[in-house]
Amino acid sequence: MNLYWIGARQWDIYNNEMFSGSITRYGKENGTHHSFCNNGITDNFNEYVNAQIHQIVNDEDDALFMFANEKNAYQFGKDIFEKSICVNPLHIIESMNDKIFTRNFFSNCVDTPNSILIHSKSCINYKFISEIFNNRYSSFVLQEANGSGGVRSYYLSPNCTPCIPSDISYVLVTPYFYKKTPVNVHIITSDKSYIILPPSVQIILNRFNYSGSDFIAYSNLSNQIKCKIFLCAEKIAQKMISIGAKGIFGIDFLVTENEVIFLECNFRYQGSSFILNKGLIDAGYPSIFQMRYNAFYNNLTDISNDIYYTPIPLSSFRRTKWNENITLNNPLEIVAVNNTESASPDKYLRYEIFNTSILQSIEKQEEQNPY
């Protein structure tokens, strides 16, 4: 195939021969690889992708496209959609990215947190919200249905009243859990089978900001918790198959003591996908891109469930101007460097990759000096 990758980072397709080229937000402008952060034409990423993708179609009749976020395959015109592979129906994509829908959809097979949907003008009254939850919790998380990466998530407590943007009509209100471990799991489903990939502990700063992943830290969790996470992921995979959802997606869990609580589904590649992909390739497995392709057009039966227990000896830190005060040892590698301030809405700088666990060091530093 003459296949192009459309996603965040050129480095995502590390050591992968499936792709002829790419259009990414961060990368190097090099032949068939096109990078938004190096362009001098537009500050709008979607405009850049639209121009590049149509230029490729004009020059190469056999070009095909694989999107990191399948929803984007629908926004560049019918001609591009027909050349896009591994794309689910839009109603599945929209539903699986909706926090309210997924908590209801999965609530009969996994534990979900107590939550309510309420008008945004009502949710900023702490006493009112606390009474709804019978005064059992000291603080709350307010979220838009389709936010990701901590964006459009807000904290409510007796001493903190958030400012909710006027374009948000309703929010999902959930108790804020202290002393919790956020875990992300990649799942790949086909029409009849599924694969649960090795999970990671998410690095979250300032309550909500996704700042990297630590696969080594996950390996330090108890076997009991690892088994519970696997069983929960299996149940979710089976539910996804029941509605015809295929491909790769991420599940966020909260681990509190001996509980595993489902939070949300992200129906796309994750922030940790690129180092998971590197770890799997280094361990002798096919890339997650090949597995995704097989989920749609072949089968997944040649991958053993043992892949879940594959050690991924890597961690990553998403460096931004907001967390430059975090100091870490020299990274194994620095990738996806942002060369243009306008390329990122949150002042993203680069990804730093390590072959050691970085979670405890970061948590200790944030505790001492919150950024």
Identify the CA nearest to 140 among candidates 151, 154, 127: 154
Rounded to 5 degrees, what are φ and ψ at 333?
-160, 150
Beta-bridge mates of residue 263: none
CATH architecture assigned to 181-368: 2-Layer Sandwich (3.30)
Q: Considering only CA atoms, give the Rg of the chain.
A: 20
Alpha-carbon distance of 337 to 204, in angstroms, equals 20
Q: What would the DSSP string read from start to end of 236-293?
A: HHHHHHHTT--EEEEEEEEEETTEEEEEEEE-S--TTHHHHHHHHHHTTPPPHHHHHH
Quick check: 201 and 270 in contact, CB under 8 A?
no
Low-confidence ranges of the chain (pLDDT < 50): none
Give me the pLDDT at residue 254, please: 96
Give me the pLDDT at residue 147, please: 59
Kindly report the pTM of this predicted structure: 0.93
Identify the CA nearest to 350 among candidates 370, 327, 371, 324: 324
Give the count of alpha carbons within 13 A of 260, CB side only.
Answer: 23
Give me the pLDDT at residue 151, please: 64
Instruction: Taking the CA atoms of 34, 35, 39 and 44 in sequence, report the sign of the dihedral they define.
Output: positive
Give me the pLDDT at residue 21, please: 96
Per-domain residue ranges for the chain? 2-87, 114-175, 181-368
Give me the pLDDT at residue 162, please: 87
Quick check: 80 and 73 in contact, CB under 8 A?
yes
Give me the pLDDT at residue 302, please: 85
Give me the pLDDT at residue 78, please: 96
Q: How far apart are the first and last CA of the chain?
A: 46
Alpha-carbon distance of 73 to 82, in angstroms, equals 9
Quick check: 183 and 200 in contact, CB under 8 A?
yes
Give me the pLDDT at residue 168, please: 86
Question: Identity (one letter) of the amino acid at 371?
Answer: Y
Give the count of alpha carbons within 13 A of 89, CB side only.
Answer: 6
Alpha-carbon distance of 288 to 292, in angstroms, equals 6
Alpha-carbon distance of 304 to 195, in angstroms, equals 8
Q: Under CATH, what is the fold of the domain 114-175?
A: Dna Ligase; domain 1 (3.30.1490)
Helix (H) or strand (E) holding 51: helix 45-59
Tokens of 12: 């995502």
